[in-house]
Amino acid sequence: MGRLSVHQLKEWKKEQRRFAMVTAYDYSAARLVEQAGIPIILVGDSVGSVMLGYDSTVPVTMDEIVHHTKPVVRATEKTIVVADLPFGSYQVSEAEAMANAMRLLKEGGATAVKLEGGAHVAPLVRKMVDV
């Protein structure tokens, strides 16, 4: 069947179908998530606190998110893998934000990226969606 798509999730939403998203940071956890039938995995910047021993998510780097995204992608066949853009990876400039998002998709293998913020990041999100 292949990996689920964001378009399929939109259809599920229209159908009011409920589904879960959980966090995983490694191959073994991702295998378990997929075997449980959960359709979305987030490789979150919380990896810093949970796996890397940081006091917060702020120190998490792009290299660390890419490193943890790759095995999650390798462990799954159907699951959508969403990777966080860590703090500082999209706030400096639009060009840097786009480059980092593309890196997570190309190098990390993520299906989608997630960034946090309010109305001020909406234009950036729109640009990312339109690529």
Residues in CB range of 80: below 8 A, 6 or more apart = 3, 4, 5, 6, 9, 39, 40, 41, 111, 112
Structural domain includes residue 105: yes
User: By C-alpha distance, which of 47, 42, 82, 40 is closest to 61?
Assistant: 47
Grade residue 2 by pLDDT with cuts at 50, 70 and 90: confident
Judged against a pLDDT cut of 90, whether residue 1 lies above it is answered with no
Q: Averaged over 113-117, what is the pLDDT?
A: 94
| Domain range for 122 | 6-130
Structural domain includes residue 92: yes
Structural domain includes residue 1: no
pLDDT digits over 44-64, tens only?
999 999 999 999 999 999 999
Provide the whole-model pTM: 0.92
Side chain identity at residue 86, one-letter code: P
d(CA 6, CA 23): 17
Task: Report the CATH number at residue 76.
Answer: 3.20.20.60
Matching residue, tokens 């917060």:
56
Proportion of the chain above pLDDT 70, given as a percent: 99
- The structural domain count of the chain equals 1
